[in-house]
Structure 1
Amino acid sequence: MTWPRQLSEAVEAHAYPLLFATISGAHLYGFPSPDSDWDLRGVHVLPTREVLGLQATQDTISFERLEDGLELDLVTHDAAKFFALMLRRNGYVLEQLHSPLVVHTTPEHTELRELARGCVTRYHAHHYLGFSANQWRLFSKESPQRIKPLLYTFRTLLTGLHLMRTGEIEANLQVLNQEARLPYLDDLIGRKTTEAEQAPLAEEVTFYEAEYRRLTEALVQARDESGLREEVTADTRQALSDLLVRVRLNERGAQ
């Protein structure tokens, strides 16, 4: 996959060294519309002097930019904040970390991906159950109802199911549906990728509601039957701490 030059330019212009920057959002999930914006996510490293000083630190940097008709949404977290999110059963940061759409990488990025294996627990299912419920509520309250939140609902549920069954992060709905084999998803994806971002859903939603409830129950069952660990390992916590110290003390090495 190729991406617009503005993404690489945003990485190069970032105020701090980056451990990685990857593409998230609809492009990662496998159903971007022709007018979808580009979501760029990553980890920056604040200088040790700033962290130890009294001034306020920028543990999150975000901006939205419109340039030559392209919408870019960039969000990066400082390494300490990102590592803490990894320890809090946050599936979203794991998806960013494991995104195959890599705009910028470092050896620390590779190391972090390996350490993330020790962060995966069966309780990550709660992240995906909560996320899908929020998306379904958003979809249900809309008038007219749109394809986008419906696809986000199913993408989240299938990512959670795949994680509980395999321990692996997979955020691309087209890839996930190779295993799930739900014909209606192929149709919805086809419409989402050829129509406008805010394209409405024309058909009755009763069928989709039944599928939402079925997949939610399947995810709860997969969580209860999962062989994944219940807690992040102590070794993983220590290794993340050691990595944070190293990148703080070797700021230039993270560039």
Structure 2
Amino acid sequence: MKNIIVQRLKEIETEENVKIVYACESGSRAWGFPSKDSDYDVRFIYVHPPEWYLSIFDKRDVIERPINDLLDINGWDLRKALQLFRKSNPPLLEWLQSPIKYDEKYTIAEKLRQYSASAYSRKACIYHYLNMAKRNNQGYLQGEEVKIKKYFYVLRPILAAMWIERFATIPPIEFDSLVRELLPAGELVNQIEILLARKKAGEELDLEPKINIIHDFIHKQFSYLEDQAKAIPAKMKENDNYLDQFFRNALKEVFND
């Protein structure tokens, strides 16, 4: 499958006249809990030739391809990515940490990883994950019977927010690492591991009675993390000249100019 993805990325470069500087897996495969029928969520960052940016017109800064049963593939122009990086965009930070990389020919992604610690806004990111968990909880986990595979789409952002509150660093992308470092051994972890094993095995995890110990944990964390997030100071404004120069240097690296 990796060969198919790499070939598709090369085709996109030709079709769009761009250079892909970084490509990775996102979603459940990167998080460590894919099902047997999970598709591949491929995300990438690309650049156009320098003259493309020298225009008075706004241009599309996203490349998307139709989603099918196997592939969900799309990417962001580097300038868009840097604008989001400036705001500590959690999906972008997750891409940079993905354990599954399809392309990284240049130093651009590694330099962003190195700079991310100093550019990181704990407050922005903890609210991102907390709000994501609340939306997913409201959408998936109401009632006495729930689609229990959806627990992961609430648990993972809660654990990411817990990591930020506890360690004040960018949380790891892998779900297992979050559970191992944040949750003590006991019944809660046992129930999570049972669900994880069932999901990975490809079991049909449809409507089942809710798991009270997981629900209790979720709601306790909502209250606790909301209070903690309010106390985190906002990050001081960054010197934007750095990212402007980063962008120029990236174009020079890719196009040898």
- TM-score band (shorter)? 0.7 to 0.9
SS at match of 2:209: coil
Is 1:90 aligned with 2:93?
no
Give SS of 1:161's match.
helix
Q: Calculate the TM-score normalised by the size of structure 1.
A: 0.85
Aligned to 1:28: 30
Aligned to 2:191: 184
**Alignment partner, residue 48 of structure 2:** 46
Identity fraction in percent: 20
After superposition, the C-alpha distances for 1:38-67 in whole angstroms (9 at most, x for unaligned) are: 00112111222222235653301111354x
Match of 2:62 in 1: 60
The alpha carbon displacement at 1:250 in A equals 4.5
Q: Decide whether aligned partners of structure 1 residues 253 and 141 sit closer, same or farther in structure 2, where only a CA change above 3 A counts.
A: farther
Which runs of no fewer than 5 residues in structure 2 stay unpaired?
A: none
Q: How does 1:1-12 map to 2 (within 5 A)?
A: 4-12=2-10
Q: Distance in 2 between matches of 1:221 and 1:73?
A: 36
Q: Secondary structure at the match of 1:73?
A: strand
RMSD: 2.6
C-alpha deviations, 1:78-134, integer Å up to 9, x for none?
Answer: 011111111223211111111121111121111111111122122111101111111
Give the equivalent residue in structure 2 for 1:231: 235
Task: Report what 1:153 is aligned to.
Answer: 154
Deviations 1:177-232 (A, max 9, x none): 11224222111111111125x63142324443222112223433553566xx6315
2:200 alignment partner in structure 1: 193
Partner Cα distance (2:236, 2:115) in 1:
11
CA–CA distance in structure 2, aligned partners of residues 59 and 253 of structure 1: 22
- Relative to 1, partners in 2 of residues 1:55 and 1:11: Cα closer, same or farther, differing over 3 Å? same
Aligned to 2:174: 172
Instruction: State how far apart, in whole Å, the 2-side matches of 1:23 and 1:211 are.
Output: 29
Alignment CA distance shift 1:139-1:37 (3 Å): same
Q: In 2 relative to 1, CA 101–250 (structure 1 residues): closer, same or farther, beyond 3 Å?
A: same
Whether 1:211 and 2:213 are equivalent positions in the alignment is no
Q: Provide TM-score, normalisation by structure 2.
A: 0.84
In structure 2, what is the equivalent of residue 245 of structure 1? 248
Q: What one-letter code is carried by the residue in structure 2 that aligns with 1:160?
A: A
Structure 1 unmatched runs, 5+ = none
Query: CA–CA distance in 2 between the matches of 1:250 and 1:184?
Result: 49
Structure 1 stretches of 4+ moved >6 Å = none
C-alpha distance in structure 2 between counterparts of 1:160 and 1:43, whole Å: 25
- State the distance in 2 between where 1:46 and 1:142 align: 49
Rounded to whole Å, the distance in 2 between the matches of 1:183 and 1:253 is: 53
Q: Which amino acid aligns with 1:214?
A: K
Distance 2:21 2:136 in 1: 30
Asked if structure 2 preserves the Cα contact closer than 8 Å seen for 1:165 and 1:222, the reply is: no
Q: How far apart are the structure 2 equivalents of 1:232 and 1:192?
A: 42
Select the structure with the greater relative contact order (CA < 8 A; seq sep ≥ 6): 1
SS in 2 for 1:96: helix
Change (3 A) 1:9 1:144: farther
SS of the residue 2:214 aligns to: helix
Asked if structure 2 preserves the Cα contact closer than 8 Å seen for 1:23 and 1:39, the reply is: yes
**Letter aligned with residue 24 of structure 2:** T
CA distance in 1, matches of 2:143, 2:76: 32
8 Å Cα contact 1:86/1:93 also seen in 2? yes
Asked if structure 1 preserves the Cα contact closer than 8 Å seen for 2:140 and 2:150, the reply is yes
